[in-house]
Structure 1
Amino acid sequence: MTGLDRLSYRSRWLRVAPERKFLLWLTLMVLAFVLPPLGQGIELALTAGLTCWLLRISLLRWCRWMALPFGFLLIGVATILFSVSRDPHALLAAVPVGHYWLGIAASGMTTAVETFWRSLAALAATLWLVLNLPFPQLIALLKRARVPRLLTEQILLTWRFIFILLDEALAIHRAQTLRFGYRSLPNGYRSLAMLVGLLFTRVLIRYQQMTTVLDVKLYQGDFHL
């Protein structure tokens, strides 16, 4: 299991019914979309505090988890914030770029601020759900929601192969590191290319092994869920 998956089993709300967790997440998502930016900021702070308390982690660790989606969010917000216009007076601040002006419009700033806080609040709520809902509870929740069995099995297999992929990648990376494969930048790029090539080969081998095991156990097309 990954670190995030292990943390979900340490949550103070581990024994809480998954339906209640899902309803709380749904409430947080609705609030993230209907509240004004100030309310979304308050929701973000409350969700962060609740997550840290339930998982017994520091706020700094939570911020590190949010750093990756935060980077993508900043790029998206920047594309909303800046506009291109022929009329510099339509922009609050602008710089000339050829025959056009690149700057910030009032409407773009308003939309960017709303998008920023709405996305952060929704991301925090989704991270809370992921960290407090172990995968077996997710499967149970899908079954009670009458999700088609085929879709549930696909989710289960995808979840399983995520760990296979990570396990193989870490094993290859460890072997390359012991052989000084990342000692310099050129060697690092070469080792990374080899890692990608070997990774898919190893995953296919693991898939074939799993298929063989299922055939030996007289697999009939249905997993026990």
Structure 2
Amino acid sequence: MTGLDRISYQSRWYHVSPVRKFWLWLAMMVLAFVLPPSGQACLLALVAALTCWLLRISLRRWCRWMALPFGFLLVGVVTILFSISHQPGALLWSVPVGSVWVGISHDGLLMANATFWRSLAALASTFWLVLNLPFPQLIVLLQRARVPRLMTEQILLTWRFIFILLEEALAIHRAQTLRFGYRRLPQGYRSFAMLVGLLLTRVMMRYQQMVTVLDIKLYQGDFHL
């Protein structure tokens, strides 16, 4: 299992009904969108503390997990923050770029601040649900929501093949590393190209093995979810 999936099994709320977790997440999302920025900041701190306590992890580890989506969020906020105007007096701070002025306006500052805290609160709430909802409980939640059976089976198979893909990729990469396949940059490019080619072949072989196993078990087109 991946690190995040493994952590979800050690949650203090592992045995709590997935439906209750979903409704709590929905309440968090509503609060993240209706509260003012100060309330969203408080919600973010509350969700962070709850996540760390439930998963028995440190705040520093939680911040490292949030760092990747935070980078994408920061880029979006920066694009909202800066404005282009022909009148420098309409901007709180500006620099001339050709015939226009690029700077920060009062409305852009308010919008960027609101977007920043709203997105962080919503992201932390969604992250809380992902970290506290093991995959079997997700299947139960989809069944309770009357999601079509075919879609649920597709999600299940996709989840399974993610682990097969990671397992095969790590095995090939480990073998290449032991043979100094990534010692130099050009050699690393060749090794990576070989990894991609071998990965496709290995995954197809694993797929054929899975089909054979299903045929042996008299698979009739339906998984017992």
Q: TM-score range by the shorter chain?
A: over 0.9
**In the alignment, what sits opposite 1:182?**
182
Counterparts in 2 of 1:86 and 1:151: CA distance versus 1, 3 Å: same
**In the alignment, what sits opposite 2:111?**
111
1:28 corresponds to 2:28: yes
Deviates more, 1:46-55 or 1:103-112: 103-112
Give the gaps of 5 or more residues in structure 1. Answer: none
Query: Residue by residue, what CA displacement relative to the aligned partner does 1:119-145 show, whole Å, maximum 9, x if unpaired?
Result: 111111111111111111111111122
Distance in 1, matches of 2:191 and 2:79, equals 35
Counterparts in 2 of 1:60 and 1:96: CA distance versus 1, 3 Å: same
Deviation (angstroms), 1:150: 1.0
- Give percent identity, aligned residues only: 78
Deviation (angstroms), 1:16: 0.8
**In the alignment, what sits opposite 1:152?**
152
Deviates more, 1:135-144 or 1:91-100: 91-100
The one-letter code sitting in structure 2 at the alignment partner of 1:95 is V
Deviates more, 1:95-104 or 1:49-58: 95-104
Counterparts in 2 of 1:86 and 1:46: CA distance versus 1, 3 Å: same
What pairs with 1:32-181 in structure 2 (closer than 5 Å)? Answer: 32-181=32-181
Deviation (angstroms), 1:8: 0.9
Counterparts in 2 of 1:205 and 1:107: CA distance versus 1, 3 Å: farther
1:80 aligns to what SS in structure 2?
Answer: helix
Distance in 2, matches of 1:185 and 1:83, equals 41
Deviates more, 1:116-125 or 1:211-220: 211-220
Counterparts in 2 of 1:180 and 1:23: CA distance versus 1, 3 Å: same
The one-letter code sitting in structure 2 at the alignment partner of 1:13 is W
TM-score of the two chains, using structure 2 as the length reference: 0.93
Query: Residue by residue, what CA displacement relative to the aligned partner does 1:31-71 show, whole Å, maximum 9, x if unpaired?
Result: 11111111111111111111111111111111111111111
Structure 1 segments, 4+ long, off by >4 Å, are none
The one-letter code sitting in structure 2 at the alignment partner of 1:86 is H
Counterparts in 2 of 1:197 and 1:78: CA distance versus 1, 3 Å: farther
Distance in 2, matches of 1:195 and 1:108, equals 46
Q: RMSD in angstroms over aligned alpha carbons? A: 1.6
The one-letter code sitting in structure 2 at the alignment partner of 1:115 is T
Number of residue-to-residue matches in the alignment = 225
Deviates more, 1:146-155 or 1:93-102: 93-102
**In the alignment, what sits opposite 2:220?**
220
Deviation (angstroms), 1:200: 2.8
Distance in 2, matches of 1:199 and 1:97, equals 49
Give the gaps of 5 or more residues in structure 2. Answer: none
Distance in 2, matches of 1:104 and 1:199, equals 49
